[in-house]
Structure 1
Amino acid sequence: MMDSYNTTTGISEVQHDISYVRYVLVSVFFLPCAIVIFVGNTFVLLAYKRDKRIRRNTTNAYILNLAVADLLVSVVMAIHFPLYLTGKWEFGGASCIIFMVLDYTVTDMSVMTIIAISVDRYLMVHNSLRHLSRQSHKRVAIICSILWIICLATQSTLAFTYSSRTGFVHDENRIATCDIGYGKNLGVIIMMFLVEFLVPAICVFALNLKVYYRLKRRTDMLQTRQGRDHLVSYAAPLDDRASQTTFSENNYMRIHGSASGSQHQKAARFLALLLIVFTICWLPYYINDCYTYFHLSGARNEALTHLVVFILWMNSAINPFLYAFTNVFFKENFKQFLRCK
C-alpha cells in the first residue's frame, strides 16, 4: 500500500510539473504571440482600408490577402488554446477535423500568397507595361479566391479521407488529443514537405534570383547609358538643340528609370526577407516530423512538437513588421495606429 501511494504521489507531482510548465509557456510565449499576430495583421488591414496610396498598388492586394491568412492564424491559436493548456481536446472528433482543416488551410494560404507576390514582382520587372495593363484588383481577387478554394479543398479532402481510413473518428484516445496522425504517415509527411515548404521555397528563391539579375543588368545598362550621355553632352556644341533635346530625354529616363529600379530593389529585398523568415520558421517543423518518423517510430515529443508549431506560427507574427520596415506607407500608418511621431 505504501509503495502504491508513493507511486501515485510521484505521478501527481509529474503531472503538476507538466501543468505548471504548460501555464508558463502559454503565458510567456503562446498568448503574446497570438496577440501580436492579431494586432499586427489588423494594422495591415486597417492601413489598406484607410490609405489610398496603398490601395493604388495592386501588389498590395496580395499583401492584404496574406494579412487575412495570417490573421486567421491567431484564430487557430485561440481555438488551440485549451489543448495547449490542458493537453486535452474537449470538442469531439468532427470539430477536431474541421479545426485541422482550418489550421492547415490558413498556413498553406500564407505560403501560396508569398509565391503569388513573388510571381507578381517577377512579371513587373520582366515587362512592366504589359503587367500593369493586365493587372487589376479584380484579377488579384480572382487569383486569391482560386488559391483559397484550392487550399481548402485539398486540406478538407486529405483530412476527412485520412481520418476515415485510419479510424480516427472511432478512436477516443486520438480524439482526446486531436491527433489525426499526419506525422505517422511517410507519404503525408513527404507530400506536405514538398507542397508546403520545399517547392514554395525553391520557387520564391528562383524568382527572386531572376529579379535580382534583371535589376542588376538594368542598372549596368543605365550606368553605361549615363556615361555615354555624359560624353555626348560634353562634346556637343552649345547651340546643337537636337543634342540637348536628346540629353534631356535621356536625363528624364535616367531619373525615372533609377526611381523605378529603386522601387524594384526594395520589393526584391522585401521578398528576400519573406523567404528567409519563411525558411527559418518552417524548417524546424519538418525536421521534427522527419526525426519523429524515422527515429522515434511516430512517438512524438509533445513539448518539442508544440515548440516547432509555435515557431511556424511566428511567421505570421513577423510578416506585418516586414511590411512596416520595407514599405513607407505601411510604416506611416503603423506609426499613426501606435500614436508614434
Structure 2
Amino acid sequence: MMDHYNLTTDIPEVQQDISYVRYVLVSVFFLPCAIVIFVENTFVLLAYKRDKRIRRNTTNAYILNLAVSDLLVSVVMAIYVPVYLTGTWKFGGASCVVLWVLDYTATDMSVMTIIVISVDRYLMVHNSLRHRSRQSHKKVAIICSILWITCLAAHSTLAFTYSSMTGFMHDENRIAGCELGYGHSPVVLVLMFLVEFLVPAICVFALNLTVYFRLKRRSNMLQTRQSRSHLSTAVPLNDRASQTTSWENDGMRIHGSASGSQHQKAARFLALLLIVFIFCWLPFYINECYAFLYCSGVHNEALTDLVSYIMWINSAINPFLYAFTNVFFKENFKQFLKCK
C-alpha cells in the first residue's frame, strides 16, 4: 500500500511537469508556427487575387490550391491549441470527428497538390507549347476540385465509419482526448503510408529527376549550337537571337546563354523539394511503425505530438519552395511587408 500511495502521489507532479513543458512548447513553437503558416499562405492568396500577372499563368493556380490546403492546416493547428494546453477536448464527439477529417484532408491535399505541381512541371518541360495550349484555369479548377472531393469523401467515410464501429461517440474518455484512433489501425496505417508518403515521394522524385535531365540536355544542346555559331561568321542575326531563347518552368529559367550553373541550381531546388518532404513526413511514420511493432500500438504522447508538429511544419516551408521562388509573388510579398 505504501508503494501504491507513493506512486499515486507522484502522478500529479509528473502531470504538472508535462503540462508546464507542453505549455512552453505550445506558446513558443506550436502557436507561432500556426500563425506563420497562416500569414504566409494568406500572402499567397492575396498576391494571386491582386496581381493579374500571377493569374495569367495557369500553373500558379496549383500554387493557390497548395496555399489553401496549407492555410487549412494552420486553422486545424489553432483549434488543437486548447487541447494541447488543457489535455481535454470540450466540444463533443461529432466536432472531434470533423476535426480529424479536416486535419487529414488538409495534409493529404497539400501532398497531392505537390504531386500535381510536379506533373505540371514535367509536362511543361516535355512539350511546353502543347501543354500551354491545353492548359486552362477551368481545367485546373476541375483537377483541384476532384482532389478535394476525393480526399474529403475518403476521410469522412473512414472517420465516421470507424467512429461508429468502435463506439467512439459513446466513449467519454476518447472524446475527452479527441482520440478517434483510426490512424493507429495497422491496415489504415499501411494504406496511409503508401498513399500519403511512399507513392508521393516516388512520384515527386521521378518527375523532378526527369525534369532536371531534360533541362540539362536542352542547356547542353543550346551551348553546343552557340559554340558552333561563334565559329561561323555567316550566321544571320535572327538565327543567333533564336538560339538564346530561354525556357521558363514555374518561375525557374534555364538560359541558353548561361553556364552549367543554371541547371545545377535547378537540380538543387528540385532535390530540396524532395528532401523537405521526406524530412517532414518520414518521422511521423517511423513513430507509428515503432509504436505498432514494439509498443503494442501504445504511443509516446510527447513524441507523437513532436512528429505531428514536424509534419505540419511542411505547410510553413511550402510557400518558400513554391511561391517565394516566383518573381511576381515576391514583388507582392515585399509590398505586403512594405519592403523596398
User: Relative to structure 2, which stretch is displaced further, 126-135 or 160-169?
Assistant: 160-169
| Larger deviation, residues 28-37 vs 222-231 | 222-231
Q: Distance in 2 between matches of 1:258 and 1:132?
A: 13
Q: Which amino acid aligns with 1:50?
A: R
Percent of pairs with identical residues: 76
Matches within 5 A, 1:121-132: 121-132=121-132
The letter for the 2-side match of 1:97 is V
Displacement after TM superposition at 1:269 (Å): 5.4
- The structure with more radius of gyration: 1
Q: 1:229 offset after TM fit, Å?
A: 1.9
- Structure with bigger helix share is 1
Q: Tell me how far 1:100 sits from its aligned partner.
A: 0.3
Query: Does 49-58 or 271-280 show the bigger shift?
Result: 271-280
Q: Which residue of 1 aligns with 2:89?
A: 89
Task: Specify the code of the residue in structure 2 equivalent to 1:249.
Answer: N
SS of 1:255 mapped into structure 2: coil
Residue aligning to 1:60: 60
Counterpart CA distance in 2 for 1:172 and 1:198 is 35
The letter of the residue matching 2:253 is Q
Q: Verify: 1:255 aligned to 2:263, yes or no.
A: no
Q: Structure 1 stretch 89-98 or stretch 223-232: which is displaced more?
A: 223-232
**Normalised TM-score (structure 1):** 0.90
The code of the aligned residue for 1:292 comes to A
1:229 and 1:250 in contact (8 A); partners too: no
1:70-122 superposed Cα distances (whole Å, 9 cap, x missing partner): 00111101111111111111122211111100100010000010011000010
The answer for the alignment partner of 1:296 in structure 2 is 295
Between the aligned partners of 1:2 and 1:221, the Cα distance in structure 2 is 82
Q: Report 1:1-341 matches (<5 A).
A: 7-233=7-233, 236=234, 244=235, 247-257=236-246, 263=253, 270-323=269-322, 325-341=324-340
Q: Is the 1:70–1:107 contact (alpha carbons within 8 Å) kept by the matching residues of 2?
A: yes
Distance 1:107 1:10 in 2: 38
**In the alignment, is the contact (CA less than 8 A) between 2:63 and 2:323 conserved in 1?**
no
Check 1:263–1:32 CA distance in 2 against 1; reply closer, same or farther (3 A cut).
same
| C-alpha separation in 2, matches of 1:180 and 1:13 | 28
RMSD: 2.1
Aligned length: 330
Q: Which amino acid aligns with 1:314?
A: I
How far apart in 1 are the matches of 2:55 and 2:271?
23
Shift of 1:320: 1.6
Once the two structures are superposed, residues 117-157 of structure 1 have per-residue CA deviations (whole angstroms, 9 ceiling, x without a partner) of 00001000000110000111111111111110011111111
Tell me whether 220-229 or 107-116 shows the greater mean CA deviation: 220-229
Deviation, 1:204, is: 0.7
Q: 1:227 to 1:188 in 2, by over 3 A?
A: same
Rounded Cα–Cα distance in structure 2 between residues aligned with 1:157 and 1:134: 34
Q: Which amino acid aligns with 1:251?
A: R
Question: Deviation digits for residues 192-212 of structure 1, max 9, x if unmatched?
Answer: 000001100100110001111
State how far apart, in whole Å, the 2-side matches of 1:324 and 1:143 are: 20
Ranges in structure 2 where 5+ consecutive residues have no aligned partner: 255-262
Structure 1 residue matching 2:90: 3-state secondary structure: coil
Partner in structure 1 of residue 258 of structure 2: none
1:205, 1:275 within 8 Å by CA — same for their partners in 2? yes
Deviation at residue 57 of structure 1 after TM alignment: 1.2
Partners of 2:128 and 2:5 lie apart in 1 by 76
Q: Secondary structure at the match of 2:49?
A: helix
Range 192-201 or range 255-264, more displaced: 255-264
Contact 1:204 1:275 survives alignment (8 Å): yes
TM-score (norm 2): 0.91
- With 142-151 and 214-223 compared, the bigger mean Cα shift is at 214-223
